C-alpha cells in the first residue's frame, strides 16, 4: 500500500514535472507563436491606446473579447468585420445609451480620436488567428440584418 | 480553541460574511438587468455590478481562507500567533483596500480585466497586506513545535496564491499576452493553489470531525493535491484554445482538463471514506454537513460541469457564453464558498463556547443555500445552452437571443432568493453565536 512518503514524492514530482512542461510550452507560445498569430507588427500606438481605453472603461464588464469577459453584451472580437467602422464609432460616440435591442450600453460619448483608437484596437484583434473561434453559424438567419 | 490568538479568525469570518451579503445584492442587480429591468443603469451599470460581484467573491473567500489559517495554524503548530496586533491591522487594511476598490468601481476607477479589476496602485497595497499575513503565518509555523502536513499544505497554497498574483500586475500591449498571464492568476488560483488551501482546510476538518488517524488523512491529502497540480497546471491550456495561442493547447488543454475532475473526485471520495471510517460521534453535525457537502458539490460544480465544456469541440461553441456562468457559480460555491462556511461552522462553537449546532436554522441554511444554488446553476445552464444553439449554431443576433432567454433569469432570481434566505439564516446563526471569548479556551 502507498506510504505517506511515496504520496509526498508523487505530489512533489508531479508538480515539478507539470510545471516544467508548462513553462516550456508557455515560453514557446509567447516568444514564437503569439507574435505571429496576433500580427504583433500591426500593434500601432493607436491600437495600444485603444487597449488602454478598453481597460480603463472595463468594456469586458459587459462584453466578451477573445471569448473572455461578461455575457451581457455581444462578443466583440469580430465586431469590426461584422458591423464595420461606422457602426462601431456611432456606438462609442453616442451621448445617449446605445440600445439597439433594449439593452443599454453606458453612454461614453467618446471623442472622435478615442473612438478611432478603440476601433483600431478592435480591427487589430479581429485579425488574430483564433483557431477557428468564433465558429461560423451553421444556419445564417438574422445576423447582420439591422432592424 | 486552544490558543488566545485563534480568536482573530472570528473577525476575518465576520468580514467575510459582510462581503458575501454585498456580493449577493450585486448579483441581484445583474439578474434583474438580464431580465430586462436594468433600472439602476445610471448609477450602477452592468459592468460596475459585475466587477463588484466577482471582486467581492474573491475578497470574501480570501478573508475566509485567512481566518481559517489564523485558526488552524496556531493549533497545528502548537504556538500562539506571533503578533496578534499585526493580524488585526492586516484585517483592517484588507477591509479598507476592498472598500476603496469597490467604491472606486462605481466611479470608473478600475482596470477592465476580468477578476483583476483592482487598479494597479491598490494592487501594491494588496501585496503588502498579503506579505504581512504570510509573514505572521510563517513565523508562527517556524517558531511552533510542529510542522504538520496539513499546515504545510495550507501555507503552501497561500504562499503560491500570493506569488501567482504578481503576473497579473504586468502590463502588456498585446491583448493575447495580457490574457495569457491573467489566467496564470485566475486559473492557477482556482484550479491550482486554492485547491491546496481547500485540501488543507478539508484535511483539518476531517481530522477533527471524524477522528481518523492524521497519518492516513494526510497521506491522501498528498495524493489529492498531487492530482490537482498534475491536471490543473497543464489544464490551464483550456483557456488557451481560442485566444491567439497555438493549436497544441487544444490537445494539451483537452487532455489535462479531462483529468481535472479526478482531483475533485478524489476529494469527494476521500471525505466520504474518512467519514465512514471514523467515529460518528462528533456533536457538530452541521460542520460535518458542510464538510462533506463541499467535497461533493465541488466535484459536481468544478469537476463535472467544468468538464462539460472544456472539451475543445464543445468549447468552440460555448466559449464566452452563459454556459461559463453556469459552471462558475456551482464551482465557486461548492469548492470555495462551502469550505469557508464549513470552517466557520466548525470553529464558531469552539471560539465562543456556545453550542448552537443543532438548530433548525443551521440545517435550513445548509439545504436552502445548496438547493438555491443548484437551481441557479440549472437556470444558467438552460439559458446558456439555449444561447449557444440560437446564437452560435443558428446565427440569431445576440440581442434577439438575449430576449428569448430572459425568462430563465426569472427562474434564476427565484432560486437566488432561496439561496439568499439560506445565507441569511447562516449569518443570523453566526451573529447569534456572539463574540469569541477566552473562557472557550480548552487547556490540554
Residue extents of the structural domains in chain A: 1-37, 43-147
Closest residue, chain B, to A32 (C-alpha): B246
- For B384-441, the DSSP string reads HHHHIIIIIIS---HHHHHHHTHHHHHHHHHHHHHHHHHHHHHHHHHHHH----GGGP
- Mutation target for B interface from A37, A46, A98, A131: give the one with most B CBs within 10 A: A131
* B317–chain A nearest CA distance, Å: 7
- Nearest residue on chain B to A128, alpha-carbon basis: B244
Element (H, E) at A23: helix A4-28
CA B128/CA A124 separation, integer angstroms: 37
**B343 to chain A, closest Cα gap in Å:** 25
Residues B210, B279 contacting (CB under 8 angstroms): yes
User: What residue has cell string 451599470?
Assistant: B45
Q: Do B117 and A68 touch (CB under 8 A)?
A: no
Considering CB atoms only, which of A4, A34, A51 is closest to B245? Answer: A34
Size of interface A-B (CB pairs under 8 A): 223
Query: Which residues have a Cβ under 8 Å from the Cβ of B317 and sit 6 or more positions away?
Result: A135, B388, B392, B393
Q: What is the mean pLDDT of residues B43-56?
A: 97
Task: Check if the beta carbon of residue B334 is closer than 8 Å to that of residue B300.
Answer: yes
Indicate yes or no: CB of B113 within 8 angstroms of CB of A43. Answer: no
Q: Nearest C-alpha of chain B: how many angstroms from A88?
A: 16
Mutate to test the interface with B, among A6, A19, A27, A29 (most CBs of B within 10 A): A29
Distance from CA of A117 to the nearest CA of B (A): 14
Q: Quick one: pLDDT at residue A144?
A: 52
Q: Is B191 on the interface with A (CB under 8 A)?
A: no
**Cβ–Cβ < 8 Å for A116, A89:** yes
> What phi, psi does B321 have (nearest 5°)?
-125, 180
CATH class of A43-147: mainly alpha
The mean pLDDT of B19-40, rounded to a whole number, is: 97
Contact yes or no for B316 and A135 at CB 8 A: yes
Q: Which residues in chain B have Cβ-Cβ distances shorter than 8 Å to A142? A: 395-397, 400
Sequence spans of domains, chain B: 4-440
- Distance between CA B52 and CA B110 in Å, rounded? 11
Cβ separation A141–B223 shorter than 8 A: no
- Return the pLDDT at B273: 95
Residues B199 and B221 sit within 8 Å (Cβ to Cβ): yes
Among candidate residues B194, B167, B166, B192, the one with its CA nearest the CA of residue B181: B167
Average per-residue pLDDT in chain B? 96
Query: Is the Cβ pair B51, A7 closer than 8 Å?
Result: no
Average pLDDT over residues B305-312: 95
Q: In the prediction, which pLDDT does A146 show?
A: 47
Report the pLDDT averaged over residues B384-394.
Answer: 96
Angle at B45 between CA B43 and CA B48, to 5 degrees: 100
pLDDT of residue A141: 55
CATH class for domain B4-440? mainly alpha
ipTM of the modeled complex: 0.94
Residues of B in contact with A106 (CB under 8 A): 41, 45, 47
Give the model confidence (pLDDT) of B127-158 as tens digits. 999 999 999 999 999 999 999 999 999 999 99
Q: Do B320 and A61 touch (CB under 8 A)?
A: no
Question: Residue B374 is inside which H or E element, if any?
Answer: helix B360-387
- Distance, in angstroms, between A1 CA and closest chain B CA? 11
Q: Do A137 and B394 touch (CB under 8 A)?
A: yes
Which of the 8 DSSP states describes residue A65?
E
C-alpha cell at A75: 462578443
Q: Which residue of B has its CA nearest to A37?
A: B244
User: Using CA atoms, how far apart are residues B172 and B179, in angstroms rounded to an integer?
Assistant: 9
B236: chain A residues, CB-CB within 8 Å? 22
pLDDT tens-digit map of B79-120: 999 999 999 999 999 999 999 999 999 999 999 999 999 999
Burial of B124 (0-12, 13-18, 19+ CB in 10 A): exposed
Confidence of residue B442 (pLDDT cuts 50, 70, 90): confident
User: What grid cell was written down for B257?
Assistant: 482538463
Residues with pLDDT less than 70, chain A: 140-147
Beta bridge partners of residue A69, listed in sequence order: A64
Q: How many CB atoms lie within 10 A of CB B432?
A: 14
- Contact in structure between B282 and B209 (CB atoms under 8 Å): yes
Selecting from B110, B233, B250 the residue whose C-beta is nearest the C-beta of A58 gives B110
Distance, in Å, from the CA atom of B97 to the CA atom of B123, rounded to the nearest integer, reads: 9
pLDDT at residue A147 in the model: 42
CB contact under 8 Å between A69 and B114, yes or no, is yes
Amino acid at each position: 500500500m502507498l506510504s505517506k512518503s511515496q504520496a509526498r514524492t508523487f505530489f512533489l514530482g508531479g508538480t515539478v514535472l507539470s510545471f516544467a512542461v508548462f513553462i516550456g510550452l508557455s515560453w514557446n507560445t509567447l516568444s514564437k507563436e503569439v507574435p505571429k498569430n496576433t500580427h504583433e507588427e500591426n500593434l500601432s500606438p493607436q491600437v495600444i491606446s485603444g487597449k488602454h481605453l478598453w481597460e480603463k472603461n472595463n468594456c469586458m464588464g459587459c462584453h466578451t473579447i477573445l471569448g473572455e469577459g461578461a455575457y451581457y453584451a455581444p462578443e466583440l472580437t469580430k465586431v469590426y468585420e461584422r458591423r464595420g467602422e461606422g457602426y462601431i464609432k456611432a456606438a462609442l460616440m453616442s451621448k445617449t445609451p446605445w440600445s439597439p435591442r433594449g439593452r443599454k450600453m453606458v453612454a461614453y460619448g467618446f471623442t472622435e480620436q478615442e473612438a478611432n483608437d478603440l476601433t483600431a484596437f478592435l480591427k487589430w484583434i479581429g485579425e488574430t488567428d483564433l483557431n477557428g473561434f468564433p465558429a461560423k453559424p451553421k444556419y445564417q438567419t438574422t445576423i447582420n440584418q439591422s432592424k | 480553541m486552544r490558543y488566545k490568538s485563534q480568536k482573530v479568525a472570528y473577525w476575518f469570518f465576520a468580514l467575510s460574511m459582510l462581503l458575501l451579503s454585498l456580493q449577493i445584492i450585486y448579483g441581484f442587480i445583474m439578474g434583474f438587468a438580464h431580465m430586462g429591468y436594468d433600472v439602476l443603469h445610471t448609477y450602477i451599470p452592468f459592468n460596475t455590478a459585475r466587477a463588484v460581484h466577482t471582486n467581492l467573491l474573491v475578497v470574501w473567500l480570501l478573508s475566509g481562507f485567512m481566518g481559517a489559517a489564523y485558526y488552524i495554524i496556531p493549533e497545528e503548530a502548537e504556538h500562539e500567533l506571533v503578533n496578534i496586533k499585526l493580524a488585526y491591522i492586516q484585517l483592517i487594511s484588507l477591509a479598507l483596500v476592498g472598500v476603496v476598490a469597490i467604491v472606486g468601481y462605481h466611479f470608473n476607477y478600475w482596470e477592465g480585466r476580468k477578476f483583476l479589476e483592482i487598479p494597479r496602485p491598490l494592487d501594491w497595497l494588496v501585496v503588502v497586506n498579503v506579505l504581512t499575513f504570510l509573514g505572521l503565518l510563517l513565523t508562527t509555523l517556524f517558531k511552533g513545535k510542529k510542522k504538520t502536513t496539513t499546515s504545510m499544505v495550507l501555507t503552501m497554497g497561500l504562499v503560491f496564491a500570493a506569488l501567482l498574483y504578481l503576473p497579473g500586475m504586468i502590463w502588456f500591449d498585446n491583448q493575447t499576452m495580457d490574457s495569457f498571464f491573467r489566467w496564470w492568476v485566475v486559473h492557477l488560483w482556482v484550479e491550482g493553489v486554492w485547491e491546496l488551501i481547500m485540501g488543507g482546510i478539508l484535511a483539518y476538518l476531517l481530522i477533527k470531525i471524524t477522528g481518523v488517524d492524521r497519518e492516513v488523512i494526510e497521506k491522501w491529502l498528498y495524493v489529492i493535491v498531487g492530482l490537482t497540480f498534475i491536471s490543473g497546471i497543464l489544464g490551464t491550456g483550456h483557456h488557451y484554445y481560442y485566444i491567439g495561442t497555438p493549436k497544441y493547447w487544444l490537445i494539451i488543454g483537452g487532455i489535462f482538463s479531462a483529468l481535472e475532475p479526478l482531483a475533485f473526485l478524489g476529494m469527494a471520495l476521500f471525505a466520504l471514506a474518512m467519514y465512514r471510517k471514523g467515529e460518528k460521534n462528533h456533536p457538530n453535525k452541521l460542520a460535518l454537513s458542510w464538510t462533506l457537502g463541499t467535497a461533493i458539490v465541488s466535484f459536481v460544480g468544478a469537476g463535472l460541469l467544468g468538464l462539460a465544456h472544456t472539451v475543445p469541440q464543445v468549447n468552440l461553441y460555448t466559449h464566452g457564453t452563459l454556459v461559463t456562468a453556469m459552471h462558475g457559480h456551482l464551482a465557486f460555491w461548492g469548492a470555495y464558498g462551502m469550505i469557508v462556511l464549513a470552517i466557520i461552522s466548525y470553529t464558531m462553537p469552539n471560539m465562543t463556547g456556545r453550542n448552537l449546532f443543532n438548530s433548525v436554522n443551521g440545517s435550513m441554511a445548509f439545504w436552502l443555500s445548496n438547493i438555491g444554488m443548484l437551481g441557479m446553476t440549472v437556470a444558467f445552464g438552460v439559458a446558456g445552452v439555449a444561447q449557444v444553439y440560437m446564437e452560435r449554431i443558428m446565427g440569431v443576433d445576440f440581442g434577439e437571443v438575449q430576449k428569448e432567454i430572459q425568462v430563465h433569469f426569472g427562474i434564476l432570481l427565484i432560486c437566488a432568493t432561496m439561496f439568499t434566505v439560506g445565507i441569511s439564516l447562516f449569518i443570523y446563526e453566526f451573529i447569534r453565536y456572539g463574540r469569541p471569548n477566552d473562557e472557550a479556551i480548552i487547556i490540554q
